[in-house]
Amino acid sequence: MATLNISLPDNMKRYVSTQVTVGDYGSDSEYIRALIRKDKVENERQLVELKILEGFQGEGRILTESNWATIQEKATARLNKSTK
């Protein structure tokens, strides 16, 4: 595992320490890793939404409920896989 050193203002450091104390995190590093994972999932979700919107702008495609369910299943599986 690689090491990354970051500098935080005192108020941010206190906030991280509080989150570790009241949350399910064993250390500041665990909390930061969880934030990065959440950010990664959110970015991937936004990309999926963008691709869906691009698909809506395409020609000759009709999105049925079945198509939409398949898209949601594949997107969910991909997001779940990327967070592990």
Q: Does a structural domain hold residue 63?
A: yes
Q: Does a structural domain hold residue 1?
A: no
Structure tokens at 10: 């005192």
Q: Does a structural domain hold residue 39?
A: yes
Look at residue 68 in the predicted model and tell me its pLDDT.
84
Look at residue 52 in the predicted model and tell me its pLDDT.
82
pTM score of the predicted model? 0.64
- Give residue 18's domain range: 11-82
* Count of structural domains within the chain: 1
Residue 31's CB: how many other CB atoms inside 10 A? 19
Query: How large is the average pLDDT for residues 47-64?
Result: 78
Q: Does a structural domain hold residue 24?
A: yes
Q: Does a structural domain hold residue 4?
A: no
Confidence check: pLDDT of 63 > 90: no
Residue 74 gets which letter from DSSP? H
Q: What percent of the chain has pLDDT over 70?
A: 93
